[in-house]
Amino acid sequence: MEQKPIGIIGAMASEVAALLAAMKEEKAEELAGLVFHSGALEGVPCVVVECGPGKVNAAVCAQTMLLRYSPRLVINVGVAGGVGSQVHIGDLVVAAACVQYDFDTTAMGDPLGTLFIRRGAESEDILLLPCCEEAAAVLLEEARSIYGGAHFGVICTGDAFVADPEKGRFLDETFQAQAVEMEGAAIAQACYMNGVPCAVLRAISDGANDGSPVDFPAFTRMAAEKTSRLLRAAVGRL
Ligand code: SAH
């Protein structure tokens, strides 16, 4: 039987461009307006797609990919705002877990970010959406050998470009977050609901602060090239 592919989702063209250029493409298929590129990356069957920014784009993309291509692992790659004093522009962050920090039913007494997921007749409350430990370990190991290391921790996801140091501090204090972005936890939720492992790999394009509107366009290309190089090095072991 043919090996199931690895699914790779980036929000923006710049985040998947280097991967698409490196991929031996066999087929491109459009579903829900998204173009899924199937082929081999470093000899490994992969499906690569640009989903567009934000949680709904990411969730629609992930669910479509899961149903159509049955990936054995879904990886979300891209750039993110750095959170906390230890995380700097150009650093890499691998998610241990993801949180939808803007899912808010706190007025009813629930902790911020708690999701309610259907399980048939049951419902499950979940805050930290899990990421695959084995895949994260491989990404961290490759990051160590190529770039001298990566951060490993919580990545926060919400439908906002964060350019406010107060918000960054809040995410650090509330969730011990290391990065903030707009897709990871939506993809992690889709994977969790389908029982498929996922990984989130981000390179820091900005500090989620006053400098972000200038830093994001200036550093996104460099950051996206870093994640692409790392993923190419790691994909054979995933
Ligand atoms: N119109 C813009 C939208 C980019 S939104 C464009 O397409 O160029 C920013 C993207 O980068 C999102 O996909 C998000 O995941 C990531 N990102 C980088 N820095 C971020 C920050 N400080 N806050 C939130 N998301 C960030």
Give the closest residue (by CA) to ligand 1 atom 10. Answer: 53
How many residues would you count in the chain? 238
Q: Cα separation of 30 and 206, whole Å? A: 32
Residue 13 Cα to ligand 1 middle (Å): 12
Ligand 1: does its nearest atom lie under 6 Å from the Cβ of 206? yes
b/e 190-229 (16+ beta carbons within 10 angstroms → b): bbbbbebbbbbbbbbbbbbbeebeebbeebbeebbebbbb
pLDDT in tens, 4-20: 999 999 999 999 999 99
Q: Cα separation of 169 and 219, whole Å? A: 22
Which structural domains are found in the chain, ordered by start? 6-237 (3.40.50.1580)
| Run of H or E including 185 | helix 184-194
Residue with tokens 């979940």: 126
Taking the CA of residue 217 as reference, the ligand 1 atom at the shortest distance is 8
pLDDT in tens, 45-83: 999 999 999 999 999 999 999 999 999 999 999 999 999
Per-residue pLDDT of the chain (238 residues; tens, 9 = 90+): 579 999 999 999 999 999 999 999 889 999 999 999 999 999 999 999 999 999 999 999 999 999 999 999 999 999 999 999 999 999 999 999 999 999 999 999 999 999 999 999 999 999 999 999 999 999 999 999 999 999 999 999 999 999 999 999 999 999 999 999 999 999 999 999 999 999 999 999 999 999 999 999 999 999 999 999 999 999 999 9
Ligand 1: does its nearest atom lie under 6 Å from the Cβ of 5? no
- Catalytic residue (one of 2, 15, 141, 173): 15
- 15 is a catalytic site residue: yes
pTM score of the predicted model: 0.98
Q: How far is CA 133 from CA 139, 156, 197, in A?
A: 10, 18, 9
